[in-house]
Amino acid sequence: MKKTLFYAVLLLITIAAPYLFPDYGTQLATLWLMIIVALTWDMTGGQMGYNSLGNIFFYGTGMYVAALITIGMVHPIGEYTDASRSELMLFTEGQYFTGLIVGSLGAGLFCALSAVIIGYITFGLRGPYFAIGTLGVAIAAGELVSNWDWVGGGQGIQLPVYPGDLDTGKVVFYFLFAITGVALFIFLKWLYSTRFGAAINAIRDDEEKAEAMGIHTMRYKLTAWALSAFFVGVAGGISAFQLIHFEPLETAYQTINLGIFMVVCVLLGGKGTLWGPVVGAILFHVIKEVTWNYLLGWQWVALGALIVVTVVYFQDGIMGWLMHNKPEWFGMRVEKKEQEGTA
Amino acid sequence: MDQFLSNIGLLFEFPIVNLKIIIDGLMIGALFALAAYGLALVWGVMNVKNLAQGDFVIAGGYVAWYLSRHGMPPLLGVPVAFVVMWGVGWVVYRLVISRVIERDLFTSLLATFGLAIIMAQMLNLLFGSDTQSIQLDYDTLYFFDFIDIPIAKLLGVLMATALAVAVVLFMKKSRMGQAIRATSQDARAARVLGIDTEKVYSFTFSLNSAICGAAGAIIVMVWVIQPFYGITYSIRSFVIVTAAGLGNLPGVIAAGLGIGVAEQYGAHIFGIGYQQAIAVLLLLLVLVYRLVQQRRVRQSLK
Amino acid sequence: MRAYPRCAEESGFVSHHQYLEEYNPMKKSLSLLGCALGASLLFSHTAAAQDCETITLGSAISLTGKYATNGIHAKNGYEFAIQKIKDAGGVQFGDKCYNFNVIYYDDESKGDRGATLAERLINQDKVQYMLGPYSSGLTKAIAPVTEKYQIPMVEAEGASRSLFNQGYKYLFAVLSTSEQYLASAVTLAAEKADDPSKVKVAVAVENDPFSLDIRAGVLEDAAKFDMQVVIDEQLPRDLSDMSAILTKVKLLKPDLLIVSGHSKGAATAVRQIGEQKIDSPMVAITHCEAADVVGNFGAAANDILCSTQWAETLTYEDPLFGSAANYEKEFKEAFPEYKDKSVPYQVAQASAAVYVFKDAFERAASLDKEAVRDAIAATDMMTFYGGIKFSEFGNNIAKPMVLRQIQDGEYNVVAPSEFASHPLNWPRTPQ
């Protein structure tokens, strides 16, 4: 009963937030993006023990796929991305929204597929080599896209501005991210309670043993990564429309920003728990926005320090700490399963 | 595509170009090898993967640049950067690295990543974000009217070589060097034999930082530095160490020089816009190659 | 070697405090006021400036990251114009006077950061009018946001044509678009050749919206003369060595070498052109002044052609800033760190953008952003920076680019012919 009430209140806050704080619409939308990437990172990193540093690949690829689908349905892409074109190439409202929906979902599917292909190779790498390998994939992708003229190269891609009225425009992206995030959360809550969840936990705890027990580890690893890639891809697609203009190296394949932030969020909140990534993302995002407001110039030093301190001194994260110190809290709120997850 | 072909054509039309590319590649490769050697040391001895490697290089460059602008002879920058960065390395070791040694591998990657962010931004705040270099008033040597070797570059390579030789001799001959090697082979056994591994670790990391610093001081005389260029050298170091394996000094040098030359050829054929991509793709290739090798071993065991 | 710019040169924690103060958006720039003090003494009627109201402008500008050098130039240009307008009695309409105040944020030279900050300026700081960021890339990231919220933005540092084919209605640029930067270099190369179709062109530009548009413009112009493009390469963003391209230049002997890559591209190119003794008869680059190539590399920069939006030797003038030469003089007095070098055009055009706002507010005689937007669109004025009149897409069509050549350490205008003060040195004599 208490639990139902808890979730109901949370849901209410989620829906009311953009109306309560209309000036912070973009920051709130970004918060949901952080929650999504943190939750998806934790699927492989926390629950399965494969620490990827390259999940940003799916974010960037999602942005590009969504944009290219949208543009490709209306205009020839090569002409659209040509900087020197003089004629206007515009989109109607219908084309915009079709692009937004089809593009984002298409981006998710494309990313899931690419996760299977890339994963087939990289999941052979163990430990830090997996992290380095996936990081390499993300960096290489950014560099290659930045040299690919057809998609605009280093100029990036410009999408149309939101065509509807201003007030709906302010909340529409918030709700797109929020719906994706809530769906992801519910999906993961269910997933971790199934055999699948147990299997990927077994892979984390001892892969050889899991294999010996008859678990097709590769199949589970690929499925888990593809699922997480799907959600990151969708989020990337929505981001593309929210940002309107993006370019490969610093926005789409932003390896050293969002690519690492998602990992830090998870570590901060608590690896291998359902709530950890959510709590971590909220805390990290708040700290980040505050430092950007009040420590101008020193914001990166503060962030770097936060990363070092989290990683070195506080690796169990907030949830880990709470579970250790206040186990009775969790008896009330969260099922036992998640506690086992942190073991 | 046409351009790639015509670029390849140039290599045959003017064979002398190959010589120039190789010389340039060896020069930059020598500096990559230095930074990578430090990484191999730290990785091998204390199992720390230092993503801030490139930032130590850049920091060393700024030390030399800053002092030379305040009247110090530029060539002195190399030893001075060595000493200063030794100190920086020691502090960093005390504060951060000493606490990640016993932890899992991912921890050191992330912690040093945080470190890299801090260092790059501190350099930016201290020195501004412009590219900087030390202009040495030396001539440029010309051969065949085509190959130009600025004496500054030559000096840089000579100093890099001298440093490498000194480090190798130190590791072979000195008591500390032997302790480091013993620790890298088996830390527990070394401890049993009375080696103070804590001291070895802090020494190794400081030494790594110092080597990087000296490399940076050479780089600032030959190319340019900028607070955010560290990642370039970090990536190269990882490629080289991954390719050469740990504790394999000749391997590191060969891989360093090799990657330098490969990059210069890549830059010539595909354009310098692809330089970073080439380095990263090489890393991926090495990883995949290792993987295939491993699988073969595993299969034969079965 | 002299480093550049001065303010970035100061090191240590002392400058950190200055830094915080100077870049704290909520505070007025203290050190700047100190700088501007000398200038303000020159004006008699400072008293009237006291009781003016404030019009708040917003700007996300690169104070850190790869565009910081030029971001700071732009900021200095904004601040100088604001002080100057204040000293001249402010923006006057109705029976009131207004002074500008700018809220700055640091976009770190990153597009997504710039877009977020623009939203913050509009939503949280309630800014109604924007000044542009530095670089085409950042402007491309921010313009959609101002467009979405229908906030007029006058920008001075984004020249790529890709900004002006999106149908934006609230974006105005005082500078000439980037395809014009080096067009006269191509024309000059054609004039000097017996047969323009035999001219070989080499192009090396940074992989960013501005430089890619420079490239597009050069390629179009070269195609008009049927020239051959023998090298067409892109420079990486973390450029430190372009010897691979220069080696090809030595082999293929182009008649015209074009390099564009903001300040670091200019610095790397000039340095290595000197080192590798590149003897192409004509070398044209962008951002010479911003990178202070004369001060940094001396003779190696000799006879290099530099495109510029504005030069202090041009004969433009206006009632506020006086002549172009006067602008330079007063700016150097207000910002002594520019004393020993020529004032980059990035500064001048930033001042011009503020001037456009002043002019538009006075004509609109209103603080309503739609009225101001329409007034900006109707701008047709002469300034120290050149004529300003916007096309329906928002770019300035009343001002030409000029091409200057570094002759014995001086920047002399050599093209187009109606502005040329000196003849072109051709072929270039290296060193």
State the nearest Cα–Cα gap between C1 and chain A, in angstroms: 27
Check if C263 contacts B (Cβ < 8 Å).
yes
CA nearest neighbour of A304 among B28, C326, C202, B51? B51
Nearest CA in chain C to A87: C165
Compute CA C13 distance to the chain's CA centroid, rounded to the nearest angstrom.
30
DSSP-derived secondary structure for A123-161: TTS-THHHHHHHHHHHHHHHHHHHT-GGGTGGG-EEPPP
pLDDT at A277: 94
Nearest to B114 by CA among B89, B97, B91, B131: B97
What does the pLDDT look like over B118-138, one tens digit per residue? 999 899 888 877 778 887 777
Given phi > 0 = left and psi -120 to 50 = alpha, else beta, which region is C135? left
DSSP code, position B134: P
- Please answer whether residues B97 and B205 qualify as being in contact, where contact means their C-beta atoms are separated by less than 8 angstroms: yes
Q: What residue in A sits closest to C112 (Cα-Cα)? A: A251
Please tell me if residue C114 touches chain A, with a CB cutoff of 8 Å.
no
CB contact (8 A) between residue A132 and residue B273: no
| CA angle in degrees (0–180, nearest 5) for A296-A302-A307 | 145
Give yes or no for A131 touching B (CB within 8 A).
yes
Domain that holds residue B193: 2-301
Q: Given pLDDT bands bounded at 50, 70 and 90, which one contains residue B301?
A: low
Q: How far apart are CA A237 and CA A235, in angstroms?
A: 5
The CA distance from C309 to B62, in Å, is: 33
Identify which of B49, B110, B271 has the shortest CB distance to residue A307. B110
Instruction: Go through A70-79 and write b for each residue having 16 or more CB atoms within 10 A of its CB, e for each that does not.
Output: bbeebeebee
Alpha-carbon span C210 to C161, nearest angstrom: 9
Q: Nearest chain B residue to A309 by CA: give it.
A: B111
pLDDT of residue C11: 35
pLDDT score, position C14: 35
Structure tokens at A48: 């399965």
Query: Between chains, do B96 and A140 touch, taking CB under 8 Å as contact?
Result: no
Asked whether C269 and C242 are in contact (CB, 8 A), the reply is: yes
Q: Is A4 exposed, middle or buried (0-12, 13-18, 19+ CB in 10 A)?
A: exposed
Residues 6+ apart with CB under 8 A from C103: C25, C26, C56, C57, C58, C59, C121, C125, C127
Residues of chain B with pLDDT > 90, as a percent, come to 22
Q: Are strands C200-206 and A245-246 parallel, antiparallel or unpaired?
A: unpaired
* C:250-309 residues touching chain A, CB 8 A cutoff: none
Which residues share a beta bridge with B208? none
In the 8-state DSSP scheme, what is residue B225?
B
Q: Which of residues 259-288 of A touch C (CB under 8 A)?
A: none
Tell me if A297 and B125 make a contact (CB, 8 A cut-off): yes
For residue A143, the Cα-to-chain-centroid distance in whole angstroms is 21
- Average per-residue pLDDT in chain C? 84
Residue A132, chain B, CB below 8 Å: the answer is yes
Model pLDDT, residue A36: 96
- The whole-angstrom separation of Cα B258 and Cα B271 is 18
CA atoms of C244 and A36, how far apart (whole Å): 43
Looking at the complex, report in whole angstroms how far the Cα of residue A136 sits from the nearest Cα belonging to chain B: 6
In this complex, the residue of B127, B134, B150 whose CB is nearest that of residue C1 is: B134
Distance CA C113, CA B187 (A): 46
- If one compares C57 and C51, the residue with the highest pLDDT of the two is C57
pLDDT at residue B142 is higher than 80: no
User: Which chains, if any, share at least 3 CB pairs under 8 A with chain A?
Assistant: B, C
Q: What's the rounded Cα separation, in Å, for the pair A153 and C237?
A: 13
Measure Cα distances from C397 to A99, C137, C155, C359, C404 in Å. 35, 21, 14, 18, 21
Say if residues A52 and A130 touch (Cβ distance below 8 Å): yes
Nearest to B124 among C64, C232, C271 (CB): C64
Residue-by-residue DSSP string for B230-243: HHHHHHHHHHHHHH
Above 90 in pLDDT, residue B8?
Answer: no
- Whether the Cβ atoms of residue C289 and residue C260 lie closer than 8 Å to each other: no
How high is the pLDDT of residue C50?
Answer: 56
Cα distances from C194 to residues A32, B284, C190, C198, C203, in angstroms, run: 64, 51, 8, 8, 21
Rounded to 5 degrees, what are φ and ψ at C335? -125, 85
Find the mean pLDDT for residues C236-245.
83
Nearest to C140 by CA among A251, A73, A104: A251
Helix axes B230-244, B53-69, angle to 10 degrees: 130
Chain B touched by C19 (CB under 8 Å): yes
pLDDT score for C45: 45
From B184's Cα to the closest Cα of chain C, the distance in A is: 35
CB atoms A296 and C220 under 8 Å: no
Contact C238 B229 (CB under 8 A): yes
Digit-coded pLDDT (tens) for A313-332: 887 778 888 887 777 776 54
Average pLDDT over residues C110-114: 87
Nearest CA in chain A to C212: A155
Q: Is A133–B111 a contact, with Cβ atoms under 8 angstroms apart? A: no
- Over range B220-235, report the average pLDDT: 87
Q: Does A302 touch chain C (CB under 8 A)?
A: no
pLDDT for residue C41: 41
pLDDT of residue C28: 35
Cα Rg of chain C (Å, integer) = 21
Q: How far apart are CA B24 and CA C244, in angstroms?
A: 9
Portion 374-413 of C in contact with A at CB < 8 A: none
Over residues C272-292, mean pLDDT:
88
- The mean per-residue pLDDT over the stretch C66-88 comes to 91
In the numeric block, which tokens belong to residue B117?
A: 């962010």
pLDDT category at B1 given cuts 50, 70, 90 is: low
Q: Report whether the peptide linkage leading into residue C152 is cis, meaning its omega lies within 30 degrees of zero.
A: no
In whole angstroms, give the CA distance from residue B162 to residue B217. Answer: 14
From A94-98, B235-239, C377-381, the region with the lowest mean pLDDT: B235-239
CA atoms within 13 A on the CB side of C358: 28
Q: Where are the domains of chain A?
A: 28-81+90-259
Residue A221 to residue A229: CA distance in whole angstroms = 12
Which of C7, C73, C238 is the best substitution to test chain B (most B C-beta atoms within 10 A)? Answer: C238
Cα–Cα distances in Å, from A278 out to A12, A285, B172, C44, C422? 17, 11, 52, 61, 66
- Contact (CB<8Å) C251/B10: yes
Q: Which of the residue ranges A259-268, C30-39, C63-72 has the most confident prediction, judged by mean pLDDT?
A: A259-268
Greater confidence, C2 or A134?
A134
Residue C43 pLDDT grade (very low, low, confident, very high; cuts 50, 70, 90): very low
Token pair listed for B171: 């590791």
ipTM for the whole complex: 0.84
State the average pLDDT for chain B. 86
Q: How far apart are CA A121 and CA A152, in angstroms?
A: 29
What average pLDDT does this structure show over A171-200?
Answer: 94
Beta carbons of C148 and A166 less than 8 Å apart: yes
Asked if A84 and C220 come within 8 Å (Cβ–Cβ), the reply is yes
- The answer to whether B7 contacts C248, with C-beta atoms less than 8 Å apart, is yes
pTM (2 decimals)? 0.87
Q: Which of the residues C243, C268, C431 would you substitute to probe the B interface, choosing the one with the greatest number of B C-beta atoms within 10 Å?
A: C243
Give the span between the Cα atoms of B21 and B261, in whole angstroms.
Answer: 7
Q: Is the Cβ of B281 closer than 8 Å to some Cβ of chain A? A: yes
**C12/A267: higher pLDDT:** A267
d(CA A87, CA A96): 19
What's the start-to-end Cα distance of chain B, in Å? 46
Closest CA to C203 of C286, C299, C289: C286
Count of structural domains within chain B: 1
pLDDT tens figures, B146-189? 777 778 788 888 888 888 888 888 888 888 888 888 888 888 88
B19 inside 8 A of chain A by CB: no
Query: Which of A25, A146, A254 shows the shortest C-beta gap to C123?
Result: A25
Cβ atoms C304, C410 nearer than 8 A: no
Token couple for A130: 């997996």
Place of tokens 């530029």: B74
Grade residue A284 by pLDDT with cuts at 50, 70 and 90.
very high
- C389 forms bridges with which residues in the sheet? C380
Question: From CA B172, how far away is CA B220, in angstroms rounded?
Answer: 30
Average pLDDT (A157-165) is 86
Q: Any CB–CB contact under 8 A between C64 and chain B?
A: yes
pLDDT of amino acid A331 = 59
Whether the CB-CB separation of C109 and C62 falls below 8 Å is answered with yes
Question: Residue A296 has what pLDDT?
Answer: 67
Residue A223 has what pLDDT?
A: 95
B272 touches chain A (CB under 8 A): no
Looking at per-residue confidence, does A52 or B154 come out higher?
A52
Judged by a CB distance cut-off of 8 A, whether residue C211 touches chain B is no
Q: Which helix (H) or strand (E) holds B74?
A: none
Burial degree of C391 (CB within 10 A; 0-12, 13-18, 19+): middle
Interchain CB contact of C207 with B (< 8 Å): yes
Determine the residue of chain B that is closest to C273 in CA distance: B148
pLDDT computed for residue C289 by the predictor: 85
Q: How many CB atoms lie within 10 A of CB C215?
A: 26
Q: Would you state the pLDDT for residue A315?
A: 74
C152-169 per-residue burial string, b: 16 or more CB within 10 A, e: under 16:
bbbbbbbbbbbbbbbebe
Q: In chain C, pLDDT over 90 holds for what percent of residues?
A: 50
Q: Residue C15: is its pLDDT beyond 50?
A: no
B107 touches chain A (CB under 8 A): yes
Chain C residues touching A84 at Cβ < 8 A: 161, 179, 213, 216-217, 220
Domains and CATH numbers, chain C: 6-176+313-389 (3.40.50.2300), 179-308+403-415 (3.40.50.2300)
Distance between CA C176 and CA B125 in Å, rounded? Answer: 33
For residues B243 and B127, the answer to whether their CB atoms sit within 8 Å is no
Q: What 3 state SS string does chain C have? A: CCCCCHHHHCCHHHHHHHHHHHHCCCCCCHHHHHHHHHHHCCCCCCHHHHHCEEEEEEEEECCCCCCHHHHHHHHHHHHHHHHHHHHCCCEEECCEEEEEEEEEEECCCCHHHHHHHHHHHHHCCCCCEEECCCCHHHHHHHHHHHHHCCCCEEECCCCCHHHCCCCCCCEEECCCCHHHCCHHHHHHHHHHCCCHHHCEEEEEEECCHHHHHHHHHHHHHHHHCCCEEEEEEEECCCCCCCHHHHHHHHHHCCCEEEEECHHHHHHHHHHHHHHCCCCCCEEEECCHHHHCHHHHHHHHHCCCEEEECCCCCCCCEECCCEEHHHHHHHHHHHCHHHCCCCCCHHHHHHHHHHHHHHHHHHHHCCCCHHHHHHHHHCCEEEECCEEEEECCCCEECCCCCEEEEEECCEEEEEECCCCCCCCCCCCCCCC
Judge: C236–B273 Cβ closer than 8 Å, yes or no: yes
- The residue type of B139 is D
* Cα of B229 to nearest chain C Cα, Å: 6
Alpha carbon distance C351, C364 (integer Å): 20
Q: What average pLDDT does range B8-16 have in this prediction? A: 84
- Which residues face C131 on adjacent strands? C154
pLDDT (0 to 100) of residue C5: 37
**Under an 8 A CB cutoff, do B280 and A308 touch?**
no
Q: Distance between terminal CA atoms of chain A?
A: 27
